Amino acid sequence: MKNLLEIRDLKVTFPTDDGLVQAVDGVSIEVAPGETVAIVGESGSGKTVTSLSVLGLHNRKLTQISGSIIVKDKDESLDIVSAPLDKIRGYRGRVVSMIFQDPMSSLHPYYKIGSQLAEAYLVHHPGQKEAANNKALEMLSLVGISEPKVRAKEYPHQFSGGMRQRVMIAMALMNDPAVLIADEPTTALDVTVQAQILQLLKDLQQKLNMGILLITHDLGIVAQVADRVSVMYAGRIVEQGGVDDIFYNPHAPYTLGLLKSVPRIGRAGSERLKAIPGQPPSLINLPTGCAFAPRCEYISLAPGDSCQTLKPDLLGLADSHRSRCHVPEGMRDKSFAAEIKGART
Ligand SMILES: Nc1ncnc2c1ncn2[C@@H]1O[C@H](COP(=O)(O)OP(=O)(O)OP(=O)(O)O)[C@@H](O)[C@H]1O
Ligand SMILES: [Mg+2]
């Protein structure tokens, strides 16, 4: 297997008192060595549920999961969906690691940074305390924290937000993982620190040849760092392709909507940002047809009432570019062309 991570037809459902929440519905994503794959989509589209599945972090008693998540470790591989928990624990943090959405709640306030880092190493290298401490110092300096010996003895509150995020990255890298999942790694940070952290991730990726699965709702970040992109809406991938496919030749109306809602320097003053009208649907009662139909401006271009009655398939356009939309390509191309131009300039 050339890929480090292969998610195939992943479905994640949470039974709740109100009914079944279909949070992820048939997601397939691959990540190869040295590659950054972004998952982008509005709040609630299923990005975090997907990434937690890769680490096997859902409670199996309270969650229905199907499909497969194959993670490669040197000569063997593991299907996280069906593997026993003790096997998964051996992979978590070592083969696949994750930077969580909120660094403050992921670091323990009472323990020194150095010992928290060392602990992450000791989980997979029991008893090797000296090696763990050395690795902690090495990783702190790798992520650009000066005087690592001094800083290792400090507590999380003594670090700034940007520094804490660097510590989280250091912690995720303690066991040299093949795949790093970064869930909104920079949302809590100001833009200059954000840029530094993204650059740091890129540098580390080159050095370590890691695959990165980057979760974000920020298209600016996607444009900056991603090689390939999956756009998610209401638990499904609505478009998937190379970063240029998504930015220069978007096919799903939702992708176009996201592009048009990004602020841009140089946009004519009279031109207002165009937010996508309406709200994402409830995941308990998804519409019978396309989940985006109630918010879509292009349904009149599709044949009959297909948008309201039929779920569109994720179909190939060219190479690895695929999208889910009933509007025929030719029709859409004409009306999109002007809009895309507006969205990009
Ligand atoms: N344990 C759970 N039980 C029931 N519903 C859940 C559970 N976990 C997540 N969900 C629902 O699944 C959907 C997807 O959630 P998820 O956290 O993946 O969104 P997200 O795309 O990461 O959003 P955000 O950008 O806000 O982080 C949401 O509607 C959420 O309420
Ligand atoms: Mg999330």
40-95 per-position pLDDT tens digit: 999 999 999 999 999 999 999 999 999 999 999 988 999 999 999 999 999 999 99
Which residue range(s) make up the domain with 298?
232-344
Which atom of ligand 1 approaches the CA of 184 most closely?
Answer: 27
Which atom of ligand 1 approaches the CA of 51 most closely?
Answer: 18
Residues 222 and 242 in one domain: no
**Ligand 1 contact, 21 CB (< 6 A):** yes
How many structural domains compose the chain? 2
**Ligand 1 contact, 43 CB (< 6 A):** yes
Question: Average pLDDT in the 288-292 region?
Answer: 94
CATH number, position 117: 3.40.50.300
Report the pLDDT value the prediction gives residue 75, as an integer from 0 to 100: 86
Query: Is the per-residue pLDDT at 178 higher than 90?
Result: yes
Closest CA to 37 of 214, 162, 163: 214
Residue 166's DSSP bridge partners are none
Last residue of a domain, one of 189, 205, 226: 226
Residues 190 and 323 in one domain: no
Dist. CA 171 → ligand 2 center (Å)? 20
**Ligand 1 contact, 44 CB (< 6 A):** yes
Q: Look at residue 99 and give its three-state secondary structure.
A: strand
Residues 55 and 201 in one domain: yes
Instruction: Give the integer Cα–Cα distance in Å for 165 and 193.
Output: 10
Residues 172 and 90 in one domain: yes
Q: What is the CA radius of gyration of the chain?
A: 21
Last residue of a domain, one of 173, 191, 226: 226
Residues 132 and 170 in one domain: yes
Residues 70 and 177 in one domain: yes
Instruction: Give the integer Cα–Cα distance in Å for 230 and 242.
Output: 9
**Ligand 1 contact, 133 CB (< 6 A):** no
Instruction: Give the integer Cα–Cα distance in Å for 271 and 303.
Output: 32
Residues 6+ apart with CB under 8 A from 207: none
Residues 149 and 127 in one domain: yes
Degrees (nearest 5) of the Cα angle 274, 28, 291? 40
pLDDT, one tens digit per residue, over 102-146 is 766 788 999 999 999 999 999 999 999 999 999 999 999 988 899
Residues 195 and 254 in one domain: no
Q: What's the distance, CA 166 to chain centroid?
A: 18
The pairs formed by 190-198 with CB atoms below 8 angstroms and a separation of 24 or more are 190/162, 193/161, 193/162, 193/165, 194/221, 196/144, 196/162, 197/162, 197/165, 197/166, 197/169, 198/224, 198/225
